[in-house]
Chains A and B, each alone.
Chain A
Amino acid sequence: MSHNTLLVFEVTILVLAIFLGIEVISKVPTLLHTPLMSGTNAIHGVVIVGAMIVLGQPDKSAFTWIVGFAAVVLASANVVGGFVVTDRMLEMFKSRERPKKPDEK
Chain B
Amino acid sequence: MSTNLANLLYLITIVSFILALRFLSNPAHARRGNQIGAAGMALAIVVTWIKVGSTSWWAIALAMLIGGAFGAVAARRVRMTAMPQMVALFNGVGGGAAALIALAELHRVLPPPGAPKADISLGIALSALIGSISFSGSMVAFAKLQELIGGRPITYAGQQFVNGALFIGALGCAIALVVGVQDEWLLWVTIAASLAFGVLFVLPIGGADMPVVISLLNAFTGLAVALGGFELENNLLIVAGMLVGASGTMLTLMMARAMNRSVANVLFGAFGQVSEAAAAVAAGDGGSVRSATAEDVAVMLAYAHKVVFVPGYGLAVAQAQHDVRQLADLLESKGVEVSYAIHPVAGRMPGHMNVLLAEANVPYPQLKEMDEANPEFSRTDVAVVVGANDVVNPDARSNQGSPIYGMPILNVDDAQTVVVLKRSMNPGFAGIENPLFYNPKTVMLFGDAKDSVDKLIADVKNL
Q: Which residues of A contact B (CB under 8 A)?
A: 3, 6-7, 10, 13-14, 17-22, 24-58, 60-61, 63-65, 67-98, 101-102, 104
Q: Which residues of B contact A (CB under 8 A)?
A: 13, 17-18, 20-22, 24-28, 30-31, 33-35, 37-38, 41, 44-45, 48-49, 52-57, 59-60, 62-68, 70-72, 74-76, 78, 80, 83, 86-87, 89-91, 93-94, 96-98, 100-101, 103-105, 107-108, 117, 119, 214-215, 218, 221-222, 224-226, 228-230, 232-248, 250-251, 332-333, 335, 337, 342, 344, 349-352, 354-355, 358-359, 361, 363-365, 367, 369
The answer to whether A55 touches B59, judged by C-beta atoms less than 8 angstroms apart, is yes
- Cα distance, A43 to B90, chains bound together (Å): 11
The answer to whether A96 touches B363, judged by C-beta atoms less than 8 angstroms apart, is yes
The answer to whether A13 touches B235, judged by C-beta atoms less than 8 angstroms apart, is yes
The answer to whether B63 touches A98, judged by C-beta atoms less than 8 angstroms apart, is no
With A47-B97, A78-B94 already in contact, the answer to whether A17 and B243 are too (CB < 8 A) is yes
With A28-B24, A42-B37, A47-B101 already in contact, the answer to whether A81 and B75 are too (CB < 8 A) is yes
The answer to whether A32 touches B34, judged by C-beta atoms less than 8 angstroms apart, is no
Contact of B64 among A3, A10, A64, A72 (CB under 8 A): A72
The answer to whether A81 touches B107, judged by C-beta atoms less than 8 angstroms apart, is no
The answer to whether B234 touches A63, judged by C-beta atoms less than 8 angstroms apart, is no
The answer to whether A78 touches B93, judged by C-beta atoms less than 8 angstroms apart, is yes
The answer to whether A68 touches B68, judged by C-beta atoms less than 8 angstroms apart, is no
B residues in contact with A36, CB < 8 Å: 21, 24, 247, 251, 350-351
- Cα distance, A71 to B95, chains bound together (Å): 10
Closest Cβ of chain A to B349, distance in Å, is 6
With A18-B242, A46-B225, A64-B104 already in contact, the answer to whether A33 and B251 are too (CB < 8 A) is yes
B residues in contact with A26, CB < 8 Å: 250
- Cα distance, A44 to B21, chains bound together (Å): 13
Known pairs A30-B354, A44-B221 / 15 extra A-B pairs, C-beta < 8 Å: A32-B24, A33-B350, A34-B350, A36-B21, A37-B251, A39-B33, A43-B20, A43-B41, A44-B91, A54-B100, A54-B108, A67-B100, A76-B66, A79-B71, A80-B72
Closest Cβ of chain B to A68, distance in Å, is 5
Closest Cβ of chain B to A22, distance in Å, is 5
Closest Cβ of chain B to A49, distance in Å, is 5
The answer to whether A50 touches B243, judged by C-beta atoms less than 8 angstroms apart, is no
B residues in contact with A10, CB < 8 Å: 119, 229-230, 233, 235, 238
Closest Cβ of chain A to B75, distance in Å, is 4
The answer to whether A52 touches B363, judged by C-beta atoms less than 8 angstroms apart, is no
- Cα distance, A50 to B119, chains bound together (Å): 17
A residues in contact with B33, CB < 8 Å: 39
The answer to whether A44 touches B358, judged by C-beta atoms less than 8 angstroms apart, is no
A residues in contact with B87, CB < 8 Å: 34, 37-38, 41, 85
Q: Which residue of A lies closest to B98 (CB)?
A: A47
B residues in contact with A32, CB < 8 Å: 24, 27, 30, 351, 354
Closest Cβ of chain B to A31, distance in Å, is 5
The answer to whether B24 touches A53, judged by C-beta atoms less than 8 angstroms apart, is no
Q: Which residue of B lies closest to A45 (CB)?
A: B94
Q: Which residue of B lies closest to A87 (CB)?
A: B34
Contact of B107 among A33, A46, A61, A101 (CB under 8 A): A61
The answer to whether A79 touches B107, judged by C-beta atoms less than 8 angstroms apart, is no
